[in-house]
Structure 1
Amino acid sequence: MTGRMLRALPALLFALSLACDSSDDPPPGGMEGCEAFAFPLSGVTDASHVSSCSSAACGNGENPPNSGLHCPTWLPCRSYTEEQPRCSWLHNLEHGHAVFLYNCPEGCADEVAKLEAAQARAAQGSNGVRRALIAPDAQLPKRFAAMLWRRTYLMDSVDPDALACLLAYQDREAPEPGLLCAP
């Protein structure tokens, strides 16, 4: 190989890696009906810890953020009735946990029950805890969001089929996939 060819090799390998981005891959297990839903990948961001969970640097700039800088602590996997720091549940996403959010100031118990049903289908850790959490979030651009690391599905009403299809991607892009979650 010539020196010029060797210098071009890294650029070629990088281009090939972009062509193999898993955003176009079907969900694992060939789940029927999932082709009706799109769960595009957000860009790759720094997954480092910030010094404070109230840092404005948390996230990747999306609303809601689905990756990026996050605080060093994560949340137990359960259903919350109070808003939780975005910077904390971003750390859950990094561990491969699913995060389900809702914005219903007028209440939406039936829809939250659908999120809880999806939470019950999330991947289970070796400690028996389902690796997903539910929390309100007043900043959502729609009433509901279902997220994995670098993937967000926004909804005006909860679609159980979409949530089942999204969960098929659990742990695929997470930097630290499969980590346990405390109850």
Structure 2
Amino acid sequence: MTPTPADQRKSGNPATQAEINLTVKQQREQKRQAKLAEYQKQLAKRRRSKLVWWIVGSAAVVVIVGLIVASIVFAPAPPKQYEPGSEGAEIEGVETFENATEHVDGTVDYEQNPPAGGPHNPVWLNCGVYDQPVPNENAVHSLEHGAVWVTYDADEVTGEELDTLKSQLPSSYVILSPYEGLDSPIVLSNWNHQLKLDSADDERIGEFFEEYWRSQNVPEPNAACTGALDAPGKQ
């Protein structure tokens, strides 16, 4: 006996029978739903990936901006700019002297403390910042060339006070060094001129540099303040 179409659609296996009972339309709908679900799954995955990269990129931008801002905020202040002085300005507290210029060997007993001119070593001291006392005789030679020698009491001028003092210095023709036996916390010296101060915030520091830095009234104006002696402690 030949099986009928109804008999051909029957199966003894329930799972197979259930599949047979699905119409072609239902099977297509099932496949479409499966494809849609897979598409939505991939779409969600791509969205998560984009979100992760956006977060990573934003964080990187924040870090870079932070580094740039930090480099600007915490960067050392540029050196002060002064014009060579000798304009004859009167600055309160400045003492003036009459010191002779002469090259000598050995130590010198100076009239001022620290010295503001007088006999000195034939070799000048290279200008710059020193964290140890420097030889008087070489520093005085630098004064002869128009430098300003900034000396300070290392027991009183420290930390922020010392940083404030450094921030007012030009990039050349200046010596900064501690000095023992000062009767003021800070003393500025130029050839035959000296100013004693109590604080690094004193506005007369700038006035002194404006008037006496690279003065044309020194014995050897415009002579070099480099290429000679580096004393111990030069930074």
Q: Which bin holds the TM-score, normalised by the shorter protein?
A: 0.5 to 0.7
Q: Which amino acid aligns with 2:102?
A: S
Tell me the alpha carbon deviations over residues 22-43 of structure 1, each in whole angstroms, 9 at most, x when there is no partner. xxxx96397xxxx56242321x
* Partner residue in 1 for 2:187: 145
| Conserved? CA contact 1:100–1:115, under 8 Å | no
Which of the numbers 99, 102, 122 marks the counterpart of 1:45?
Answer: 99
Distance 1:114 1:49 in 2: 35
Q: Which amino acid aligns with 2:217?
A: E
Distance 1:36 1:95 in 2: 22
Distance 1:174 1:117 in 2: 25
* Partner residue in 1 for 2:113: 63
| Conserved? CA contact 1:118–1:160, under 8 Å | no
Deviation at 1:109, TM superposition (A): 2.4
* Partner residue in 1 for 2:206: 164
- Aligned pair in 2 of structure 1 residues 48, 112: CA closer, same or farther (>3 Å)? same
Deviation at 1:106, TM superposition (A): 5.6
- Aligned pair in 2 of structure 1 residues 73, 157: CA closer, same or farther (>3 Å)? same
Q: Which amino acid aligns with 1:45?
A: N
Distance 2:108 2:88 in 1: 38
Residue 135 (1) aligns with residue 190 (2):
no
Percent same amino acid at aligned positions? 24
Which of the numbers 162, 168, 177 marks the counterpart of 1:118?
Answer: 168
| Conserved? CA contact 1:66–1:149, under 8 Å | yes
Structure 1: runs of 5+ lacking an equivalent: 1-25, 121-128
Deviation at 1:92, TM superposition (A): 0.8
Deviation at 1:147, TM superposition (A): 1.2
Which of the numbers 224, 230, 234 marks the counterpart of 1:180?
Answer: 224
| Conserved? CA contact 2:156–2:185, under 8 Å | no
- Aligned pair in 2 of structure 1 residues 79, 39: CA closer, same or farther (>3 Å)? same
- Aligned pair in 2 of structure 1 residues 78, 38: CA closer, same or farther (>3 Å)? same
Q: Kindly tell me the number of residue pairs found equivalent between the two proteins.
A: 141
RMSD between superposed Cα atoms in Å: 2.4
Q: Which amino acid aligns with 2:108?
A: A
* Partner residue in 2 for 1:155: 197
TM-score, length of structure 1 as denominator length: 0.68
Q: Which amino acid aligns with 1:83?
A: P
TM-score, length of structure 2 as denominator length: 0.54
Distance 1:163 1:156 in 2: 11
Deviation at 1:161, TM superposition (A): 1.8
**2:211 partner SS:** coil
- 106-115 vs 88-97, which deviates more? 106-115
**2:168 partner SS:** helix
Please identify the structure whose Cα radius of gyration is greater: 2
Distance 1:39 1:159 in 2: 17
Distance 1:74 1:86 in 2: 10
Distance 1:104 1:69 in 2: 26
Task: Give the structure with the larger helix fraction.
Answer: 2
Distance 1:181 1:88 in 2: 11
Tell me which stretches of 4 or more aligned residues in structure 1 moved more than 6 Å.
none
Distance 1:169 1:95 in 2: 15
